[in-house]
């Protein structure tokens, strides 16, 4: 059996959020679900410090998407391998999103 390779070339979130989407999808709009996925997963694994930092960024009046993405990328470098892989799955889901996925 041949293993299927994911067609998404995963990028750091800071790179991805700054690029214009060729399909016209608002990448900043996709950060809300990604943020929630990160908070849920980090909280379940006991990373309350990171959850608090993400909550602080999310509650600032003028949240810059790049600031949030920098934090998401940094967190992946500070957690164990299995959790990093899980967080990258969230990044991949956002980066692979297509509007027709909603139907």
Report helix, strand and coil shares of the chain as percent, to nearest 5: 65, 0, 35
What integer pLDDT is reported at residue 23 of this predicted model? 84
Q: Are 54 and 39 in contact (CB under 8 A)?
A: yes
Tens digit of each residue's pLDDT (9 = 90 or more) over 32-48: 899 999 999 999 999 99
Q: Are 93 and 40 in contact (CB under 8 A)?
A: no
Radius of gyration of the chain (CA): 14
**Positive or negative CA dihedral for 74, 35, 67, 56?**
negative
What integer pLDDT is reported at residue 86 of this predicted model? 95
Place of tokens 């940094």: 74
């Amino acid at each position: 059996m041949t293993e299927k390779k994911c067609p998404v070339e995963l990028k750091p979130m800071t790179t991805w959020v700054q690029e214009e989407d060729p399909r016209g999808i608002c990448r900043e709009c996709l950060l809300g679900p990604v943020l929630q996925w990160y908070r849920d997963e980090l909280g379940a694994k006991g990373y309350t410090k990171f959850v608090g930092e993400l909550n602080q960024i999310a509650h600032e009046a003028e949240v810059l998407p790049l600031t949030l993405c920098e934090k998401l990328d940094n967190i992946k470098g500070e957690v164990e391998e299995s959790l990093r892989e899980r967080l990258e799955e969230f990044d991949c889901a956002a980066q692979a999103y297509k509007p027709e996925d909603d139907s």
